[in-house]
Structure 1
Amino acid sequence: MHSSGSGPGGSADTPGGPGKDIRQIARALIEAAFSGDIEGAIACCTPDLELRIEGIQTVRGHEGLQHIIEFNTEVSTNIQVEIHHMLAAGDTAAINRTTYLTIGGKEIVLEVGAFFEFRDGLVCRWVDYQDMGVVTRALGH
């Protein structure tokens, strides 16, 4: 997993503790989710998480997050994420990233804007904005 970013770092400790930089928690969530680390991703989120892939799907809770990660690792290979920019204000973080993956032998590049809302130092809402048409076509839909 390749990640680069801009802005101050903050602590790299376990997510959710006092004084943690929400940008680092959002980054840890993305890195865990796209590497297939279900436990690591869940550790960044509240039990009532809402994850929305705009225009495609909304899932809730740790089970919903696990389902998305399992589906992604089942249908995708060669997953790489490059983080370009990270911003935060209050209890909201935004990350601009490029996700590279292969589905059914087709290499796909997705430009993504992601927003994360936090409660008690953990992600309670994650919304991804991207053109999913290229993914659905690669899946044969």
Structure 2
Amino acid sequence: MADNATVVRDFIAAWSRLDVEELVGFFTEDGIYHNMPIEPVQGHAALRQFIGAFAGGWSSTDWEVLNLLSAGDVVIAERVDRTVANGKPVDLPCCGVFELREGKIAVWRDYFDMGTYTRALAG
């Protein structure tokens, strides 16, 4: 089994493929994804729907890892998510906190400024 930091790095890299099924596969069956400005979603069905909905308008995304720290089952990844959403470039600074269980993401909390994202889409 890969160590937790490698799992998170692999998950971050997988976003560039925009394959919803692959992304959901990184989570435990009861996994939680919480974009902190909005309500969390839990479980593969909800994750599939949520990720598919917001990434559906993306034509590309590449996440640059600035810092990644790992201690036990917790991994923290500071990133800049560079995405083309609805034809518009968005560079979104983020910090993700991941809690892993048996090589899968049990909880992912992402902290970012929603205004940065919405302003880029409006511009």
Q: Do the structures match in fold with TM over 0.5?
A: yes
Number of residues of Structure 1 aligned to a counterpart in Structure 2: 122
User: 8 Å contact 2:88–2:121 — kept in the other structure?
Assistant: no
Where is the helix percentage greater, Structure 1 or Structure 2?
A: 2
Structure having the higher Rg: 1
User: 8 Å contact 1:28–1:41 — kept in the other structure?
Assistant: no
Query: Per the alignment, in what secondary structure is the counterpart of residue 99 of structure 2?
Result: strand
Counterpart for residue 12 of structure 2? 30
- What is the Cα deviation at residue 78 of structure 1? 2.8
Query: Per the alignment, in what secondary structure is the counterpart of residue 31 of structure 1?
Result: helix
Q: Which moved further from structure 2: 89-98 or 36-45?
A: 36-45
Give yes or no for the alignment of 1:71 onto 2:31. Answer: no
The 3 A distance-change label for structure 1 pair 26 and 114 is same
What's the TM-score, normalizing by structure 2?
0.85
- What is the Cα deviation at residue 120 of structure 1? 1.9
Mind listing any 5+ residue stretches in structure 1 that lack a counterpart?
1-16
Where is the strand percentage greater, Structure 1 or Structure 2?
A: 2
Structure 1: 4+ residue segments shifted above 6 A: none
Mind listing any 5+ residue stretches in structure 2 that lack a counterpart?
none
Q: Which moved further from structure 2: 81-90 or 38-47?
A: 38-47
Indicate the RMSD between aligned Cα atoms, in angstroms: 1.9
